[in-house]
Chain A
Amino acid sequence: MSSASSTTTGAAKPSSTRDKPANKWEAAADWTDGRLGIYSLAKANLRKIFPDHWSFMLGEICLYSFVIIILTGVYLTLFFKPSMGEVIYNGSYVPLKGIGMSEAYASTLDISFEVRGGLLIRQIHHWAALVFVAAMLVHMMRVFFTGAFRKPREINWVFGFLLLVLGMFDGFFGYSLPDDLLSGTGIRFMEGAILAVPLVGTYLQMFLYGGEFPGHDIIPRFFTIHVLLIPGIMLGLLVAHLILVFYHKHTQWAGPGKTEKNVVGMPLMPVYMAKAGGFFFLVFGLISAISAIASINPIWAYGPYRPDQVSTDAQPDWYMGFSEGLIRVMPGWEISLWGHTLNLGVFVPLMIFPLVLVAIAVYPFIEGWITGDKREHHILDRPRNAPVRTALGAAWISLYLVLLVGGGNDLFATHLHLSINSITYFVRVGFFAVPVIVFIITKRWCLGLQRRDKEKVLHGRETGVIKRLPHGEFVEVHAQLPQKDLFKLTAHEQTQPVELPAQTDENGVARKAGALTRTRAKLSRGFYGEGSQIPKPTAEEHHEITSGHGHH
């Protein structure tokens, strides 16, 4: 049969001129390549170079905890019933026997007590979620303080930021699902927050809850949002984030042989396959071990949710803590006008909450505008070499921490024997004062470190050897830094402040700079002007000192 058809096509040749595969593995790869083009893909990526540094693995912690959350989350959906129908509990947990509760809560109890290993998976899911958001925040701070967000990576910074925000909210929705006393309190808070929105608040509340709080719809709806909508968007963003990381190639620290035009490190195959692949198992293993030894969200102890019951220490998970702080320390302002009420006590924190996040998200674009730098940057800044940026980042973190203290004010009060009222007053003042103080201190600190670097480059490092000079003076012997260190300490560029364009044009006619231009020039002076960086040592200075060394 086949011979007959081949004779009709005459001299048709096999379409591939490739050599015979050496073994069945090569054959399988050839087969796949013929359909997916894997060889071209692998050519670019199999020996892709990744630089080695612990801080470059923070993103991997995020990625792996996300994978862990998906795996354990799928398992949990097999047993969880997102329903608010009432049942009477009759499981093995004695202190709740005979109590009426929602099916959502009862099924979470069953996962914890009846399903073997269910408690472990629940705890892994929740611990991984806490670690996920924490790692995202630290990862983002690493990118911020090293200037890794600069061109060409601004869009990837935005993707990462969106992942952080979505991660926070998905965590909050997950926390709301078991319908225990704590999670119900969170849903109640959400109701109050939505009601505080002017004009449309009551409509939004009715549509979201399917009627009055709590209704029967909110948990099924949150379930879909928690397991499908948000994770779906996150997965898309995550893939885009990773593709861009591959496409841009990783940034690297300054060092001998490292330039803006190369990336120095070890190849994906085999070193990073083993290191990064192995790190996934390390992360998963550690989170499993933590879930074996430490309890998280013991929903059985909280009891089922009822709108007339509450426990003190009602807090959200840590990543929502700063918004909790905002809402706790806000004074109770309320405006009543023309038969309408504007609940500023809730609405103002509700607006500051996104502002705090957006403030850090837009920073790369602001810095890019101020510097006007259109070049690509692949060598990381040491935080000290960008004092204003570092100080702004530190101020942002301090604001975040002050608000976290506000969010935990009751526990700070009981455990440090303080008054809850004084802590709240402190946070109200600290919200404005602490970031300013931290900004000033951090900036001066960075400048001090820059001075020390300059000193080291020009005068060498202190050896600890004390020498007595002929005339009796004692001096410490300084040793010249090796070439690689001299290079490393002077590799950074120093941005110069932008100049205002000439106030008159070539004909002598006054040409006023616009407000934006003037703002930009002013900011640029603040960022890079005198007092914001220490000029780095020049070759001439170095020559002068090293050649003059003998005369000392």
Chain B
Amino acid sequence: MKKLSARRRHPLAALVVLLLALAATGGLYAAFAPADKAQADVAAQSLAIDEGKKLFAVGCSSCHGLNGQGSSDGPSLVGVGSASVDFQVGTGRMPAQQPGAQVPRKKNIYTQAEIDQLAAFVASLGPGPVTPKEEQYTSTNPEDISKGGELFRTNCAQCHNFAGQGGALTKGKYAPSLEGVDAKHIYEAMQTGPQNMPSFPDTTMPEEQKKQIVAFVRHTTSDEPNPGGLTLGSLGPVTEGLFGWIFGLGTLIAVAIWVAAHTTKAKKS
């Protein structure tokens, strides 16, 4: 948002808005125009898929095609499974504002019921990872935290940082921070490998281990205290160095100025 407000006075802003408006109009047309004839063939399918398809036609088909077959603007959704939909839409990444190297997390605009309908529709296109049930991603065993920690450091910390704060990838892409991400969405991201993140399928990382990783991430990003004081962003020595210079040496120099300054002289008023 900040980026947007900073750029809205750009000379090309008007042009961008115009293009966006044209694209949106075209997209809406594409979404509505073929919807009528598609309606007829789905009478036999369940209500959820039916409703999901309607939502899909409005929100997703402009990029992913009416039947999720994909287009130049978006990949095919055949076989991505309900878990992908639940993650992408649930974290607000989809529908995307614009295609780009990376689609950022933003406010989700669908209710969970609508997401479930969309997921049911996409799942009907081909088999894929299924949205996990609550017991799959909710750990009750406290030992899971340390086991998850070890798995996290092997599989995840290289991109998402030791404390789940995220980090840089190539050419402006990044691994997002895991702070405040729902346990379900963390689980689904590992299942499905959204965007440039690789997937960690059950065949190489069993369900139980995903649950342990989720337990560690939730613990580290929300419950874990910082015994030593301010975390300085949990970003390692860079922020520590900055803090040391500004508040460490900076304060000491301020004190030195006081120590060395001449005391105010008495003057006749």
Contact = CB atoms under 8 A, between A and B. Distances in A.
Task: Please determine if A and B sit in direct contact within the complex, based on CB atoms under 8 angstroms apart.
Answer: yes
Interface of A: 52-54, 56-58, 60-61, 94-99, 112-113, 119, 123, 127, 130-131, 134-135, 138, 175, 181-182, 275, 278-279, 282-283, 286-287, 290-298, 301-303, 306, 308-319, 321, 407-411, 413-414, 417-422
A425 to B, nearest CB: 12
A291 B227 CA distance: 11
B159 interface: yes
Counting from the closest, the 6 A-B pairs by CB-CB distance are A318-B241, A295-B228, A312-B167, A130-B244, A311-B162, A419-B172
B257 interface: yes
Given A275-B259, A317-B240, A421-B171, A295 B231 contact: yes
A106 B150 CA distance: 15
Given A311-B157, A318-B240, A53 B249 contact: no
Contacts of B236: 182, 311, 313-315
Nearest to B243: A294
Given A54-B256, A54-B257, A296-B240, A309 B153 contact: yes
Contact of B244 (A54, A131, A181): A131
Given A279-B259, A295-B229, A413 B172 contact: yes
B12 interface: no
Contact of A94 (B146, B153, B240): B146
Interface residues of B, number: 63
B204 interface: no
26 contacts: A54-B256, A56-B260, A58-B256, A61-B253, A61-B256, A94-B219, A95-B149, A98-B143, A123-B228, A127-B248, A130-B240, A130-B248, A134-B248, A138-B253, A181-B157, A182-B162, A182-B237, A291-B229, A297-B240, A306-B153, A311-B158, A410-B168, A414-B167, A418-B172, A419-B171, A421-B170
Given A292-B229, A298-B231, A57 B260 contact: yes
Interface of A is mostly: helix
Given A113-B227, A414-B166, A278 B259 contact: yes
A308 to B, nearest CB: 7
Contacts of A54: 253, 256-257, 259-261
A419 B231 CA distance: 25
B252 A131 contact: yes
Contact of B249 (A112, A135, A278): A135
Interface in B135-169: 142-143, 145-147, 149-150, 153-154, 157-163, 165-169
Contacts of B237: 175, 182, 297, 315-318, 321
